[in-house]
């Protein structure tokens, strides 16, 4: 059930997440988080997997747009299919390839290289991907630079329970501690932690959330 091969096939991953109720429990949790995306705001979901996080917030407004990126094209394909199943207009969602080590460098589907503009996103979502970065610290700093002042970074991270650590080991996921993550984010953001409870089963077994709201520049 926890074969590392699951992370190689976006469609199998998506099916697994849906059939075992993981996706629904994540979305129940996301709905109660104190995150608002202004109309017209841009969302980035990097290491998007089958797209759940970014698509959830995209659906909370009509004029928001989403850029979903992943290292694996087949995950991007699975994310696009999810958006289409949910009736989201194709022009509201862009996709691209990006390594979490440099989340600002995107290769589009038609092979164009793009550098994302600093302070251009209202919301950045990451989930269980930072531990694949060469330096999670620099990736976090890069993501914060991409956030507009007042914007949110949501990290739906692996939790530090025994099961969370077991799953990380199984998937060769080497993250920094949640404490270190918060310490880095606090340099430019107000940081809060949000634990899941049993209403968010089964996601509560392996995930927890850190939200960072970027401070306005000091005068």
- Interface with ligand SAM, residue 75, by CB under 6 A: yes
Of 29, 43, 44, 127, the residue at the interface with ligand SAM (CB under 6 A) is: 127
- Interface with ligand SAM, residue 7, by CB under 6 A: yes
- Interface with ligand SAM, residue 131, by CB under 6 A: no
Which of residues 44 and 218 has its CB atom nearest to ligand SAM in the complex? 44
- Interface with ligand SAM, residue 168, by CB under 6 A: no
Q: How far apart are CA 118 and CA 212, in angstroms?
A: 16
- Interface with ligand SAM, residue 14, by CB under 6 A: no
In angstroms, give the least distance from the CB of 218 to ligand SAM: 32
Which of residues 121 and 132 has its CB atom nearest to ligand SAM in the complex? 132
- Interface with ligand SAM, residue 47, by CB under 6 A: yes
In angstroms, give the least distance from the CB of 208 to ligand SAM: 12
Stretch of residues binding ligand SAM (CB under 6 A), selected from 45-53, 110-118, 182-190, 211-219:
45-53
> Which residues in this chain contact ligand SAM in the complex, by CB under 6 A?
7, 47-49, 52-53, 70-72, 75, 99-100, 127-129, 132, 156
């Amino acid at each position: 059930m926890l074969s590392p091969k699951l992370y190689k096939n976006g469609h199998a991953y998506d099916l697994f997440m849906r059939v075992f109720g993981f996706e629904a429990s994540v979305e129940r949790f996301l709905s109660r988080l104190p995150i608002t995306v202004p109309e017209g705001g841009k969302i980035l979901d990097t290491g998007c997997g089958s797209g759940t996080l970014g698509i959830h917030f995209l659906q909370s407004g009509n004029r928001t747009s989403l850029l979903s990126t992943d290292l694996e094209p087949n995950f991007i394909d699975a994310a696009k299919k999810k958006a289409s199943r949910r009736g989201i207009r194709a022009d509201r969602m862009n996709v691209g390839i990006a390594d979490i080590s440099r989340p600002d460098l995107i290769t589009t589907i038609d092979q164009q290289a793009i550098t994302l503009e600093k302070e251009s996103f209202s919301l950045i979502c990451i989930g269980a991907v930072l531990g694949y970065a060469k330096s999670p610290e620099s990736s976090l700093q890069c993501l914060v630079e991409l956030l507009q002042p007042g914007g949110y970074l949501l990290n739906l991270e692996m939790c530090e329970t025994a099961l969370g650590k077991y799953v990380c080991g199984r998937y060769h996921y080497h993250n920094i501690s949640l404490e270190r993550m918060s310490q880095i984010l606090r340099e430019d953001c107000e940081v809060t932690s949000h634990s899941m409870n049993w209403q968010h089963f089964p996601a509560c077994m392996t995930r927890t959330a850190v939200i960072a709201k970027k401070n306005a520049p000091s005068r």
